[in-house]
């Protein structure tokens, strides 16, 4: 038996299973594995398999981490330079290890699928879910959901809570930069002239889910691999702001992200407060309507979760896989 921990490389187990199927499955060899599906649920998904033999790459791979740097920069045998961010707030320089992680190819969009985060916790309980969503079960068993009118106003403009590490490969330097901007001595020093008490961005907080339910925008960042905050934001009825350079988002080619989220690059991270402040009430209302319409695409229907939550992540994942099969039959990718 081979087991890879949540941050380990799944190369060996993938190679073993592929070789086994080559020896014992005529259906696998019929397409060289191109219509077989593998799933990696570790933090960094399929990172680390790039040097593998072509036949190991052929299969459709599902993961929660969609890192795919521009092809001209990606690879494992190049010398990389540190990103040039032209604003003083950026936290630090990238070293060689940071750049190696940054430019690792973990996802091939023409054949692989990024799936929504699969996790347990408070949001997957009826107690929390019913504070945001009204569910109606129709006679045919189908479920409709609408966002409840906020009992209390969403007084926080933007929210993020979580830890950070000094190494830049953790969140691509985004968390470090935000913490620098909003801590003592930063641009938005909580005791300085630019302080923003309506923005919660530092450290950990008691009542994490309560704060999400009372925020207009929630930052969706990654850490050492995929993050769960995009799903959390959608379930909380909070418009996600995604700051994840080179990262394909879950079901990116199936869901209209522009209808329910904002995307900000690291290059513009220092302007994130201005970007949020520029969103008009009408634009915010449209984004919230998008969250209302699409949040179920991020919810899995799993054994421990009440069926009434009506998760549709599985349904949309199947749609995404069908598109990859069409790509295969259309010879859209080769290895």
Neighbours of 272 (CB within 10 A): 22
> Is 2 domain-assigned?
no
> Is 330 domain-assigned?
no
Of the candidates 126, 132, 79, the residue with the CA atom closest to the CA atom of residue 103:
79
**Start-end of H helices in the chain:** 11-24, 26-30, 54-57, 96-102, 126-129, 174-182, 208-213, 229-235, 272-277, 281-294, 313-329
Q: 3-state DSSP call for residue 258?
A: helix
> Is 228 domain-assigned?
yes
> Is 323 domain-assigned?
no
> Is 162 domain-assigned?
yes
- Domain identity same for 136 and 113: no
CATH at 255: 3.40.50.2000
**pLDDT given for residue 100 in this prediction:** 83
pLDDT-derived band at 70 (thresholds 50, 70, 90) equals confident
For residue range 95-141, list pLDDT tens digits in order.
Answer: 778 888 888 899 999 999 999 998 776 666 777 777 888 878 888 87
Q: Is the pLDDT of residue 76 over 50?
A: no
- pTM, 2 dp: 0.88
| Averaged pLDDT for residues 147-161 | 88
């Amino acid at each position: 038996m081979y087991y890879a921990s949540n941050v380990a490389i799944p190369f060996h187990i993938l190679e073993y299973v592929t070789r086994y199927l080559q020896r014992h499955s005529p259906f696998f060899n019929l397409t060289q594995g191109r219509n077989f599906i593998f799933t990696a649920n570790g933090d960094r998904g399929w990172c680390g398999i790039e040097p593998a033999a072509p036949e190991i790459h052929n299969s459709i791979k599902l993961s929660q981490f969609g890192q795919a740097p521009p092809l001209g920069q990606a690879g494992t045998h190049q010398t990389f330079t540190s990103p040039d961010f032209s604003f003083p707030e950026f936290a630090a320089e990238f070293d060689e290890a940071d750049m190696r992680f940054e430019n690792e190819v973990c996802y091939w969009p023409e054949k692989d699928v990024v799936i929504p985060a699969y996790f347990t916790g408070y949001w997957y309980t009826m107690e929390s879910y019913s504070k945001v969503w009204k569910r109606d079960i129709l006679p045919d068993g189908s479920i409709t959901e609408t966002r409840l009118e906020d009992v209390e106003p969403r007084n926080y403009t933007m929210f993020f809570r979580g830890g950070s590490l000094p190494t830049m490969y953790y969140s691509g330097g985004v968390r470090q930069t935000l913490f620098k901007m909003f801590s003592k001595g930063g641009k938005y020093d909580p005791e300085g002239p630019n302080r923003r008490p309506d923005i919660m961005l530092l450290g950990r907080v008691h009542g994490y889910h309560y704060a999400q339910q009372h925020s207009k925008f929630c930052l969706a960042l990654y850490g050492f691999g995929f993050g769960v905050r995009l799903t959390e934001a959608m379930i909380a009825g909070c418009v996600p702001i995604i700051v994840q350079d080179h990262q394909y988002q879950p079901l990116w080619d199936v869901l209209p992200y522009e209808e329910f989220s904002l995307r900000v690059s690291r290059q513009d991270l220092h302007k994130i407060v201005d970007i949020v402040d520029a969103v008009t009430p009408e634009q915010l209302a449209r984004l919230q309507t998008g969250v209302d319409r699409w949040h179920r695409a991020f919810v899995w229907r799993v054994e421990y979760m009440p069926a009434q939550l009506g998760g549709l992540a599985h349904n949309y994942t199947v749609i995404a896989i069908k598109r990859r099969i069409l790509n295969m039959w259309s010879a859209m990718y080769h290895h």
